[in-house]
Amino acid sequence: MMRIATRKAIDWTRKQRTAPSLEPHPDPEQPSDLSLEALLLRREEKQELHALLQRLPNDYREVVELFYFQEKSYQEIAEVQHIAVKTVESRLYRAKRLLRQSGKEEGS
């Protein structure tokens, strides 16, 4: 009995650590108490990201936009693009790698 109770307590503790918060997430488009400097930095970062996305090959850019901005699943993207799910995964991976490389080159 003691072992069962201990295991249940451990499970409950794990669930509490990983349980999603019920607090509403702030809308990134409408920051509540950010300073003007923080708002300007956020706007600049968005512009830089948009410029980097435009440099990606068309296949990669479309997959990134569908996944991150339109919040489509891999399966939905595969159906829209008429490609395999593995191809979607590969294109997302390669696009992120290219974005990181481009970002490092810009920062240098």
DSSP letter, residue 35: -
The closest alpha carbon to 57, from 107, 86, 105, 94, belongs to 94
pLDDT over threshold 70, residue 104? yes
Please report the domains of the chain, with CATH numbers, ordered by start residue.
49-108 (1.10.10.10)
Does the pLDDT at position 36 exceed 50? Answer: yes
20: pLDDT strictly greater than 70: no
> Tokens 């509540």 belong to which residue?
32
Q: Name which of 60, 49, 53 is nearest 88 in CA terms.
A: 60
Encode pLDDT of 45-103 as tens digits: 778 878 888 888 999 999 988 988 888 999 999 999 999 999 999 999 999 898 888 77
pLDDT higher than threshold 80 for residue 13: no
Q: What are phi and psi of 95, to 5 degrees?
A: -65, -45
pLDDT number for residue 23: 47
